[in-house]
Amino acid sequence: MVERIVVAITGATGAIYGYRLLRALQQMEKVEIHLVISEQAEHILKNELSLSVDDLKKLSHRFYDESDFYSPISSGSFITSGMVIAPCSMRTLSSIANGYEDNVIVRAASVTLKERRRLILLTRETPLNLIHIRNMESVTLAGGIVMPPLPPLYFGKKTMDELVDLTVGRILSLLGLRSDLLKQWGDNDLQ
């Protein structure tokens, strides 16, 4: 069976998380990637990674405009295995937390929650104000997973790609997808 995963990239710094996630998902068999990129993320992708929306479209199976409310991901009848927003801006977090479904990213996130599917938000902001924290609480109480991308430093990894991929491995694991990106604690004992 094909696993449909919805991926959204919004306008927080850390576009590399969305990019590396797409690359990892693309290498997996039986995974169908449905991608949306916010207008602000488009600028950040260009600034941080020198990548265009067209470059990222190639890593997906289906791409939707953020204003396309007729897209299948806007409906709960379109079965998916979950949705990841990486990175997730505080604006998008706030819209999800408050049910303000003003674009397809927020609509698809809301659908994911109402259908009781996995929703993972790589929220990117620091430090946090009380409003951010309350929005994170609301999403968590509604069943979402708030996962700020904090790179684990205990593996002695050196490059940014390697650190990002450890977080990507955690996302895949939360989606129930097994990958080689995440070295599990205790793996050394099995070798």
Binding site for ligand FMN (CB under 6 A): 10-13, 38, 40-41, 44, 89-92, 124-125
Min separation Cβ 59 and ligand FMN, Å: 19
Is 14 in a helix, a strand, or coil?
coil
- Minimum Å distance from CB 188 to ligand FMN? 35
Tell me the C-alpha distance between 36 and 53, whole Å. 10
Least Å from the CB of residue 91 to ligand FMN? 4
Of the two residues 57 and 179, which places its CB atom closer to ligand FMN in the complex? 57
Of 132 and 170, nearer to ligand FMN (C-beta) is: 132
Nearer to ligand FMN by Cβ, of 13 and 184: the residue is 13
Phi, psi values for residue 164, rounded to 5°: -65, -40
DSSP 29-49: TTEEEEEEE-HHHHHHHHHHH
What's the min distance (Å) between Cβ of 10 and ligand FMN?
4
Calculate Rg over the CA atoms of the chain: 16
Report the C-alpha gap between 85 and 17 in whole angstroms: 9
Q: For residues 15 and 175, which CB has a smaller minimum distance to ligand FMN in the complex?
A: 15
Which residue of this chain has its Cβ atom nearest to ligand FMN in the complex? 11
Alpha helices by DSSP H, the chain: 15-26, 39-49, 53-57, 90-97, 104-114, 130-141, 160-174, 187-190
* CB nearer ligand FMN, residue 10 or residue 60: 10
Residue 162 Cβ vs ligand FMN, minimum distance, rounded to whole Å: 21
